[in-house]
Structure 1
């Protein structure tokens, strides 16, 4: 694969801040490729591979996001988080089992806190859902998590990006390989059924490009925006509509109406002039009678063979 040309980003390029776990890091790599040729958009990854909502003692996203937004001053925040959260969570003094009633209530509270923190910073954001995973139980949990993320995003003015269909087959089952962004079959996931390949990272970004471009004010994913354009404002004037194509259609005509083309009768209406019935060709086609073969010719099947006359030998020599 040829290397893409490196486009230097403008000093005042719009910042897209990507936060979350190791899948968010892969998403940021895919977005880097998607916007590589756009000098006015810069992807900044501040993911923490082992983080999640469960272990807030290790990394507390609702708290950390505030300082990240203040430091990076992003135009958009992209969140992808949750692949590490299938574990016990301490709620008060009790360790709750994953997806138990108390566990789920606390999990919803923490996801809601992250959405509110971004909303309070007055920055538009996208919340990218989890894909399917190799383990069936993990896939089932991710479906439940996605419902929670969807609710948190909508509650706080964000937009949920559903990537699920890009990593399952037509029956909704996890797939290791599948179509890339160009429809070509590629490997999307690693052997562990969790991590994503380079093509998989680009596919995650593909689902995020369109809503991201809309927030940034781009006319379409991959187009170049001006660095001075305000967030959310369209920056490319729409092209004038093309003039309607005038089609000169021919009116239908009947086979019984030859006057439409200036004629007076249909082709083949007049019978052809009759040929001389005594000609060998006419006898052969009309009566089925072949002319008598010349003695010694290839089609002379008489027996015993006739002796060619001098005139026939002369005519044969002439034909040769």
Structure 2
């Protein structure tokens, strides 16, 4: 083996000498590489295994809340139609309402929202015009509106572009709100306007509060109601908070990480306050078909139907009757024999003597003596 190695080295040396003494460094390195490669062939040197690096796959991060799969029961042909319109917040509200009424065959939630829409963005959706089409092509008994997040922008008309919050801007914006409201008033459709929520950016929150005042004023002059969800998404210091109690009273994340949207827990909490309004209206539509007293004013009749709120309450006394007639529940028409009473029961019911206070209880006045 040694003689073979010597012969190989001699051949390499003679080849280099034949090419001239002035061999470059690169050529010597190339010859050494060839020598090493030749040695590896002759002596079978061990080859190192190449380990390919594992490809790292990026985890997909969900943007927005995770909405569970909602399986709705088959709806009745005459189901109470609840139309939800508006922007991103309205879409999240509609999803939560769908879940809330999923098993109720008598209520159908119709979601017709556009995330980027607003009453200042007619190029996306012209809501008064769209509303007429929706009412003409769907059985709608109740309408819910939630908008405003995309309305912090200028409005253009024939006179030019008007900056957000300017007097001209407010006049044009209020005209759009009134046009939408008047369509519902003319068709005598119940409706609720849901306030915009607070967001994590203080300046945007201030703008949302400004828009809420416009909505509230417009609804006050109609038969609808304004559902203010703003306070339910603040902390104990009346500041925005992404966390808070859910419907079960557990502390949960209620808002998405962008500080604008709602988590699923937050959407359910928001829908709770709206769902109550729908169920009240539904009760009025289904069960208040009773004999009403004569002489009621038009606004009182509207209040009984859930169309208008009054500063006092009207209770129909002849709408419902006990199955046992005039007898009170639990009564058998008999009398109680006081002679059978004894002890503390006799002292309380017959003698009129109050029971002795228990030590440490709130009515134990002996502690003050």
Between the two proteins, the alignment pairs up a number of residues equal to: 245
**1:165 maps to which residue?**
231
Q: Is the 8 A contact 2:121 2:150 kept in 1?
A: no
Distance, in Å, in 1 between the alignment partners of 2:116 and 2:256 is: 18
Alignment pair present for 1:35 and 2:101: yes
* Runs of 4 or more consecutive aligned structure 1 residues displaced over 3 Å after TM superposition: 2-6, 231-234, 236-244, 246-250
Structure 2, unpaired ranges of 5+: 1-67, 291-303, 307-315, 337-343, 357-369
* Cα 1:120/1:183, change in 2 over 3 Å: same
* CA shift for structure 1 position 37: 2.1
Distance, in Å, in 1 between the alignment partners of 2:185 and 2:200 is: 34
**1:148 maps to which residue?**
214
Alignment pair present for 1:205 and 2:271: yes
* Cα 1:243/1:94, change in 2 over 3 Å: farther
SS of 1:46 mapped into structure 2: strand
* Cα 1:238/1:47, change in 2 over 3 Å: farther
TM score, norm. by length of structure 2:
0.60
Q: Is the 8 A contact 1:126 1:159 kept in 2?
A: yes
Q: What are the Cα deviations for residues 160-209 of structure 1, in whole angstroms up to 9, with x where unaligned?
A: 10101111112221110111112111111111111111111111111101
Alignment pair present for 1:113 and 2:179: yes
**1:278 maps to which residue?**
none
Distance, in Å, in 1 between the alignment partners of 2:255 and 2:108 is: 26
Q: Is the 8 A contact 2:193 2:219 kept in 1?
A: yes
Q: What are the Cα deviations for residues 39-70 of structure 1, in whole angstroms up to 9, with x where unaligned?
A: 10010101111110111132110111011011
Distance, in Å, in 2 between the alignment partners of 1:152 and 1:73 is: 25
**2:119 maps to which residue?**
53
Alignment pair present for 1:179 and 2:242: no
Q: Is the 8 A contact 2:70 2:98 kept in 1?
A: no
Q: 1:77 aligns with which of 143, 163, 176?
A: 143
SS of 1:33 mapped into structure 2: helix
TM score, norm. by length of structure 1:
0.69
* Cα 1:172/1:103, change in 2 over 3 Å: same
* Cα 1:3/1:90, change in 2 over 3 Å: closer
* Structure with the largest fraction of helix: 2
**1:131 maps to which residue?**
197
Q: What are the Cα deviations for residues 13-32 of structure 1, in whole angstroms up to 9, with x where unaligned?
A: 11100011111111101111
* Cα 1:14/1:101, change in 2 over 3 Å: same
Q: What are the Cα deviations for residues 83-110 of structure 1, in whole angstroms up to 9, with x where unaligned?
A: 1101111133422221112111211111
* CA shift for structure 1 position 146: 0.7
1:165-244 alignment, distance < 5 Å: 165-217=231-283, 232=305, 242-243=329-330
Structure 1, unpaired ranges of 5+: 220-224, 255-320
Q: Which moved more, 1:209-218 or 1:2-11?
A: 2-11
